[in-house]
Amino acid sequence: MDSDAHPDLRLDDTAAEHLEPDRATLDAVGKITEALETVEIARGHLYEFHQLTGAADRKLADGITMLRDAGHAAHADRLTEHLLGRNVLHGRWTFQIVEEYDTTYYRAFHDHETRVRALTRGVRHLAEARVKRESRTPGLAGHEATPNSSD
């Protein structure tokens, strides 16, 4: 059961408490999920790398046109031949790196994390729910258990 499919379990202190496995399992699953979150950040940086490299290539193309217009055809030709559209890794543009990362690493990591999370009945962020339950002050504004509660 995934907490995204069950909004009543997403932040509800009591429901989360009843779903918790033993502390060692909870901590282990939490660490694996934390690792996936780090992979998500890395993936975002990879997509950022892809976007930035593409933007640089488009700016390079503009600069080449400007060099040519300024009468520097030899420089423009050399940049066009040797740099514009060049692979960033052997045989790969950035979109190919992103696709290979997604296929080879990201999907596998995500699938394995999902399997391990079965130990917490598929509910995500149970460790965080425990910390929230232990840290919040019931009845105080800004410390509600769920968006719709007032305790």
Residue 142 lies in a domain: no
Domains identified in the chain, total number: 1
The burial of 89, by beta-carbon neighbours within 10 Å (0-12 exposed, 13-18 middle, 19 or more buried), is given as exposed
Residue 143 included in any domain: no
What average pLDDT does the segment 12-20 reach? 57
Q: Beta partners for 89?
A: 92
> Which residues neighbour 110 within 8 Å (Cβ) at sequence distance 6 or greater?
36, 39
What domain range is 57 assigned to?
7-135
pLDDT of residue 60: 98
- The residue that leads in pLDDT, 39 or 2, is 39
Q: Is residue 65 in some structural domain?
A: yes
> Does 73 reside within a domain?
yes
Residue 36 maps to a domain: yes
Q: Tell me if 128 is assigned to some domain.
A: yes
Is 63 part of any domain?
A: yes
Predicted pLDDT at 47: 98
- Mapped onto helix, strand or coil, the DSSP state of residue 124 is coil
Percent of the chain clearing pLDDT 90 (strictly above): 66
Q: Name the average pLDDT for the chain.
A: 88
User: Could you tell me the sign of the dihedral formed by the alpha carbons of 46, 48, 52, 55, in that order?
Assistant: positive
Query: pLDDT tens-digit profile of 50-99?
Result: 999 999 999 999 999 999 999 999 999 999 999 999 999 999 999 999 99
**Cα-trace Rg, the chain:** 25
State pTM to two decimals: 0.77
| pLDDT tens sequence across 117-131 | 999 888 888 888 888
Residue 122 maps to a domain: yes
